[in-house]
Amino acid sequence: MTSNITKEEWLATLVGMDTTSRNSNMGLIETIRDALSAQGVDSWLTTDDKGAKANLFATLPASDGQTQGGVALSGHTDVVPVDGQDWATDPFVLSPAQDRFYGRGTCDMKGFIATAMALVPEFLQQKRSKPIHLAFSYDEEVGCAGAPFMLKELQKRNQKIDGCVVGEPTGMRVVVAHKGINLFTCRVHGKAAHSSLTPFGCNAIEHAARLICHIRDLADHYRDTGPYDNHYDVAYSTITTNKIAGGIAVNTIPGECQFNYEFRNLPGMPGEQIQAKIQEYVNNELLPRMQKEYPDARIDITANASAPALEASEQAAITELVRALTQDHETRKVAYGTEAGLFQQLGIPTIVCGPGLIEQAHKPDEFVDFSQLNDCENFLRKLSASL
């Protein structure tokens, strides 16, 4: 693909690539890389351990060639699965109908990437005193696993960025804060035995249940006592157990049980603080109880992924700029996570603003309105002009 590709054409190309998180996104990344290269824009990639997935970072320099500072436009290239969903159209073919584009990722968040890519030729022709950066990641949908590799490379290269806009679907409204997300796997190792010989076993499911109930009690504590932030639809930090497996037969005491839990913490409430309470219960109460039954019993908790919370400063230049360009001055905070907290953690002031509505994301017949893409295009034009 070369220059002068419309956002609709870009969106058709991006949606046509099945970048479900379990798959490679290399085809999409290489397509973007080659399109940028054809316009004289160099980019660099950071890959996963297998080289099957990649982040892409590119800089459109200022008029004087300056590459430091400026604003980054951030988006993730992976999408969630369509397994078991009843779609009216092929989810990996862009389908326009009734002033909407249907397809997996149209809303979350290939619409933003397509719009940004369509504007690259225009950005390159503008006289700007600051650069624009493109930061496209992998594996956001499985816990923001890819972006940290890109951000680490940014640090290594001493790349400076004045502000970042993460184009997650917000209806082109400004989101200044979101909760953190932390995903864990817990494996409870007991001792199997015939169910008629209960004293000779250590029931992993039953002890896992004790921990799950403790996690629920902790969740209830935050629900009842806070801290609270009423700008969120759920005003407190939440914890849930979402998946469990264990046991091999109805007449066998299970020696193994595994479950997954997550918590979404308010900004200002470190995720480490919540996890410490869970680990304290394991170390001080549950594990000693298990080891009275079976000395070699153990509980392993693995952190699978995490993304820090976002709390943007209203005084940050990027917040003031985006509010001015969108004429949106409402304080808006959301419970879902994004990569914005990762950029902020690196010292880059960041806000979230992009086309589409989060209510349409991850669902069958996902869509984005034509008008939302047009609003995004106008916003990005004004953003670039402001530089």
Residues in the chain: 387
How far is residue 152's CA from residue 175's CA, in Å, rounded to a whole number? 25
Let me know if 162 is a catalytic residue.
no
Under DSSP, the state recorded for 283 is: I
Please enumerate in sequence order all residues whose Cβ is within 8 A of that of 228, keeping only pairs 6 or more positions apart, or say none: 235, 236
User: CB under 8 Å to 342, separation ≥6 — which residues?
Assistant: 144, 147, 148, 151, 307, 308
Question: How many Å apart are CA 103 and CA 92, to the nearest integer?
Answer: 6
Q: What amino acid occupies position 139?
A: D
Is the peptide bond preceding residue 109 cis, with omega within 30 degrees of 0?
yes
In degrees and rounded to multiples of 5, residue 175 shows phi and psi of -110, 125
Catalytic annotation present for 140: yes
Q: Which one from 108, 140, 162, 365 is the annotated catalytic residue? A: 140
Query: Which listed residue (78, 108, 139, 141) is catalytic?
Result: 78
CA distance 103 to 86: 12
Distance CA 44, CA 33 (A): 8
Q: Assess whether the previous peptide bond of 199 is cis (omega < 30° from 0).
A: no
Return the DSSP state at 269: S
Active site residues: 78, 140
